[in-house]
Amino acid sequence: MLVVRYSIMWIPFILLFTAAAWGLELWEGNKITTTEYYGLRNLGFAFIAMMFLGATSVYPIAVAPFSMLVYKFVSSLLVRIVIYSVAGGASGIWIFHRLYDDYFVRGYGPQLSSSVLIFASAGLLYALIDHFFDVKKEAGRWRIGRG
């Protein structure tokens, strides 16, 4: 049952991660005006597609197992929000360093705090979706909704 739940939770994760990466690129990446940087301005839709594919591949390897453990061992919504927000902020740090190397940070000034804020917010939304979403099998049929 947990596998079904987190197979479906893959969709909100992909959407949240892609939206967070897109938001970060709009907020901070647009400061970088050189053609040396391949971001949304140069790549356009391909940038969003790369973030989408990245989220698609990261979820089953790292996020789904982590989410299953949190679901199994943490019952408090507040603690889940903190866990997912901190994990989101940490992934924001990682994404920031992947997108913007030191050269771009020194020259154009994108802020790490923006990335942490955006991805922590995505983690908070993921925690709320995870809390209010449930999958149950009743009378041989899957029921999706709040349990």
pLDDT over threshold 80, residue 90? yes
Contact 129, 9 (CB under 8 A): yes
Q: Would you kindly state where each structural domain of the chain is located, as residue ranges?
A: 2-145
By CB atoms closer than 10 A (0-12, 13-18, 19+), residue 93 is middle
Percent of the chain with pLDDT over 90: 52
The pLDDT-based confidence of 117 (bands split at 50, 70, 90) is very high
The pLDDT-based confidence of 40 (bands split at 50, 70, 90) is low
- Tokens representing 30 are 């647009």
**Average pLDDT of the residues of the chain:** 86
- Tokens representing 76 are 């408090």
Which contiguous run of DSSP H or E holds residue 114?
helix 112-132
pLDDT in tens, 15-30: 999 999 999 988 987 7
